[in-house]
């Protein structure tokens, strides 16, 4: 599978693995969050042919125990997904004995119990960025955040720096989120920019007011509703 | 420790921002308190109409001056505010409507406004998209429309650059009084020492007036609008129904704005927004009746706002003798946006010079003493006595008596 878009999560894995270099397939795009992380950790960009990209390192030795466990879970999930695609390799097949099936069920239950006993750790969707890293983030102000209305990150940052502090306010002045999709694509990105600028967590940002109709509706249809 | 402020403006909508900008231009350092974001209430939810036609005749001199200011506002604010001056069509569908419109046009001509009655064919020349129901319209060529969000933001940005201070997400909790006059403003985050408070709080203007023991006959009215997807430019006029049942325009962006009224908008809880599901479909039906060509266009967003409706549908402006230092600039009754630039200038003149270049005594608080719809109790001079007598600049004079 060719990777066409580099997301922040991918960059975080690279950072965790201790590498100082990130492979970017030719023609791939880098998300703004990913670009920020690359800049923050001064990773070297290495352009490679689309096919030769290696999978990001998973379950690396340097990671602490908790992450390791999580990585294992991810791996197991990945395995089970794979086996679902290929029924012939399914762990449960018709000619298995009852004891074998029971063993598998017990293993699953045991694993389930382990996960249940583990204290729940909710990771923030996007990491809050501290004030001092903000200065380094001017590079991709030309990046389009709202695709419907073609509003750039720079335009959004400008109104925030002028004193607008809400998602609704940004929407009214820049038009980000006013297009056909009504912000379904860009709202989280705008929230992240606002959070960065204010030094808050994106969880503290109130979303824009939800506006009906949920999707575009012709006047003639709406009139008869 | 209280901060010192030349003047505290309550409300960061287009009025508050315009007043702050004009005062800052005169060298004052006004403070603006806004409970949500700049332009977060009515200034962030209105049609952006800049019209003179179909106004209360008392407002006409203000509206005419406002048109002049809007004409060069992009230069003054240093940004495009999408102002379009291509006229306003008030469409009639019956002989009754034509007759009352003819009467209104005559009255408006008497106060110097240039507008005319058009028959169906003349309307079609200006706007070929009107439906078969339309039999005529009034047309005022100097009316137009503007992007209300950008105007508000423009005044805010420019005012801030000139030294006005804006405190958003802050609520006024108390207006302090000393010896019967304004002495300070307490918010949930700051305390300001000031002898001047401007009530530009729109629909909350009554609540602010209540803080100094005044009251005005105002109530909130709900208003809803819908926005369509963008279309190639069809027409540039502001359009509306003769009786104001619906109104709309095509924005610079290409999307259409349509607002309208169904008659139940005044039956709401105090400052709460109702769930009248029939308003959107009703507006849609009116748009289709008036502009059948638009029936397939997609509605993508709806929003609503609250109108600060006065009993006589005109604002309250200026000082009052009852509470020296308290300045009204509220109650615009749903047609204030078009006046914003001139209100900003006039309130600033009133504060700086104790007089205004356009008389505003028709709008003074004193008018309610004789009941609604009667002449103001003041002498009727260019500047209302009840206003100037209590201007803080005349404080020395007041102390001497």
**Cβ contact A219–B299 (<8 Å):** yes
SS3 label, residue A23 = strand
Q: Is the pLDDT of residue B99 over 90?
A: yes
Task: Average the pLDDT over A192-205 and give the result.
Answer: 92
Would the pLDDT of B197 be above 80?
yes
Closest approach of chain B CAs to the CA of A196, in angstroms? 18
pLDDT of residue B247: 94
Query: Bigger pLDDT: A102 or B240?
Result: B240
Which residues of B fall within a CB distance of 8 Å from A187?
none
Q: Which domains does chain A have, with CATH numbers?
A: 5-52 (no CATH), 131-204 (1.10.10.1100)
Question: In DSSP terms, which residues pair with B84 in a beta bridge?
Answer: B145
Determine the average pLDDT of the residues in B268-290. 87
pLDDT at B379 over 50: no
More confident residue, B39 or A63: B39
Write down the pLDDT at residue A138. 58
ipTM for the complex shown: 0.86
Instruction: Give the mean model confidence (pLDDT) for residues B135-149.
Output: 95
Q: What is the pLDDT of residue A157?
A: 95
Q: How far apart, in Å, are the Cα atoms of B59 and each of B17, B48, B113, B146?
A: 21, 17, 12, 19
Chain B: nearest CA to A139, how far in angstroms?
25
Q: What is the pLDDT of residue A31?
A: 76
Question: Rounded to an integer, what distance in angstroms lies between the CA atom of residue B90 and that of residue B343?
Answer: 25
Q: Is the pLDDT of residue B346 over 70?
A: yes
Rounded CA-CA distance B14/B12 in Å is: 7
pLDDT at A170 over 90: yes
CB–CB contact B302 A182 (8 Å): no
> In chain A, which residues have their Cβ closer than 8 Å to the Cβ of B77?
none
Residue-range domains of chain B with CATH: 3-45+149-217+312-400 (3.50.50.60), 88-141+219-310 (3.30.9.10)
Between B321 and B80, whose confidence is greater?
A: B80
Contact criterion met (CB < 8 Å) for B284 and A219: yes
What is the count of residue pairs from A and B with beta carbons less than 8 Å apart? 88
**Long-range interactions of A211-216: CB distance < 8 A, separation 24+:** A211/A182, A211/B301, A211/B302, A211/B303, A212/B280, A212/B302, A213/B280, A213/B299, A213/B300, A213/B302, A216/A180, A216/B229, A216/B298, A216/B299, A216/B300
Lowest mean pLDDT among B81-85, B114-118, B368-372: B368-372
Which residue is closest to A178 within chain B, CA to CA? B301
Q: Which positions 121-180 of A are in contact with B (Cβ < 8 Å)?
A: 159, 162-166, 168-169, 172-173, 175, 178-180
Q: With pLDDT > 90 as the criterion, what percentage of chain A qualifies?
A: 27
Considering chain B, what is the average pLDDT of its residues? 88
Higher pLDDT, B94 or B384: B94
* Four-CA torsion B51, B52, B53, B59, nearest 10 degrees: 130
Interface of B with A (CB under 8 A): 36-40, 44, 149-150, 153, 156-157, 160, 166, 168-169, 226-229, 253, 280-281, 284-285, 287-288, 294-303
Highest mean pLDDT among A44-48, A128-132, B119-123: B119-123
What mean pLDDT comes out for the span B390-399? 42
What sign does the CA torsion over B157, B158, B161, B164 have? negative
Chain B residues in contact with A163 by the CB 8 A cut-off are 38, 156, 160, 166, 168
What mean pLDDT is predicted for residues B302-322?
A: 90
User: What is the pTM assigned to this prediction?
Assistant: 0.75
Query: What are the φ/ψ torsions at residue B69 (nearest 5 degrees)?
Result: -65, -40
Q: Any residues with CB less than 8 A from the CB of B317 and at least 6 apart, and which?
A: B328, B329, B343, B346, B347, B360, B363, B364
Provide the pLDDT confidence category of residue A29 given band limits of 50, 70 and 90: confident
Q: A222 vs B150: CB contact, 8 Å cut-off?
A: no
Stated as kind and residue range, the H or E segment containing A145 is: strand A144-146
């Amino acid at each position: 599978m060719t990777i066409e878009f580099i997301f922040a999560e991918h960059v975080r894995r690279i950072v965790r693995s201790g590498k100082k270099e990130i492979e970017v397939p030719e023609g791939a795009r880098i998300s703004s969050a990913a670009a920020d992380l690359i800049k923050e950790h001064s990773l070297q960009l290495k352009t490679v042919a689309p096919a030769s990209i290696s999978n990001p390192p998973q379950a690396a030795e340097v990671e602490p125990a908790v992450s390791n466990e999580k990585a294992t879970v991810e791996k197991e999930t990945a395995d089970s997904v794979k086996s679902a695609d290929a029924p012939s390799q399914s762990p449960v097949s018709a000619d298995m004995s009852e004891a074998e099936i029971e063993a598998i069920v017990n293993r699953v239950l045991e694993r389930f119990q382990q996960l249940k006993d583990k204290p729940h750790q909710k990771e923030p969707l996007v990491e809050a960025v501290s004030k001092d890293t903000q200065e380094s983030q001017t590079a991709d102000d030309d990046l389009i955040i709202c695709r419907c209305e073609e509003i750039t990150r720079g335009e959004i940052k400008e109104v925030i720096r002028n004193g607008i502090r809400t998602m609704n306010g940004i929407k009214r002045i820049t038009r980000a989120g006013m297009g056909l999709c009504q912000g379904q694509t860009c709202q989280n990105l705008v929230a992240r920019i606002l959070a960065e600028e204010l030094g808050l967590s994106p969880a503290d940002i109130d979303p824009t007011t939800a506006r009906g109709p949920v999707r575009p509706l012709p006047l003639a249809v709406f009139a008869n509703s | 420790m209280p901060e010192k402020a030349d003047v505290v403006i309550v409300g960061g909508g287009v009025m508050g921002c315009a007043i702050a900008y004009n005062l800052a231009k005169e060298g004052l350092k006004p403070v603006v308190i806004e409970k949500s974001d700049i332009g977060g209430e009515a200034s962030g939810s209105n049609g952006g109409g800049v019209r003179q036609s179909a106004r209360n005749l008392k407002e006409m001199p203000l509206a005419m001056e406002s048109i002049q200011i809007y004409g060069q506002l992009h230069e003054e604010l240093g940004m495009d505010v999408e102002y379009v001056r291509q006229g306003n069509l008030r469409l009639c569908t019956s002989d009754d409507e034509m007759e009352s419109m003819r009467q209104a046009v005559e009255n408006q001509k008497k106060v110097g406004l240039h507008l005319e009655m058009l028959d169906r064919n003349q309307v079609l020349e200006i706007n070929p998209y009107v439906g078969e129901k339309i039999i005529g319209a009034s047309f005022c060529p100097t009316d137009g429309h503007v992007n209300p969000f950008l105007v508000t933001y423009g005044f805010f940005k420019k005012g801030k650059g000139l030294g006005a201070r804006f405190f958003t997400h802050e609520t006024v909790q108390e207006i302090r009084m000393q010896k019967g006059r304004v002495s300070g403003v307490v918010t949930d985050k700051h305390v300001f020492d000031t002898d001047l408070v401007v009530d530009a709080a729109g629909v909350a203007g009554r609540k602010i007036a209540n803080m100094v023991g005044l009251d005005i006959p105002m109530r909130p009215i709900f208003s809803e609008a819908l926005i369509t997807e963008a279309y190639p430019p069809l027409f540039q006029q502001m359009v509306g129904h003769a009786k104001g049942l619906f109104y709309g325009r095509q924005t610079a962006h290409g999307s259409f704005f349509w607002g309208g009224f169904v008659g139940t908008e005044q039956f709401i809880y105090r400052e709460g927004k109702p769930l009248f599901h029939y308003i959107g479909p009703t507006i849609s039906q009116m748009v289709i009746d008036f502009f059948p060509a638009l029936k397939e266009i997609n509605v993508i967003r709806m929003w609503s706002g609250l109108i600060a409706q006065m009993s006589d549908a005109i604002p309250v402006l200026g000082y009052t003798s009852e509470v020296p230092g308290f300045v009204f600039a509220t109650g615009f009754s749903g047609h204030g946006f078009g006046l914003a630039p001139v209100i900003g200038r006039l309130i600033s003149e009133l504060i700086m010079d104790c007089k205004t270049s356009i008389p505003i005594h028709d709008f003074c608080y004193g008018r309610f003493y004789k009941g609604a719809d009667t002449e103001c109790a003041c002498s009727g001079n260019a500047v209302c006595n009840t206003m100037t007598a209590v201007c803080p600049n005349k404080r020395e004079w007041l102390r001497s008596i």
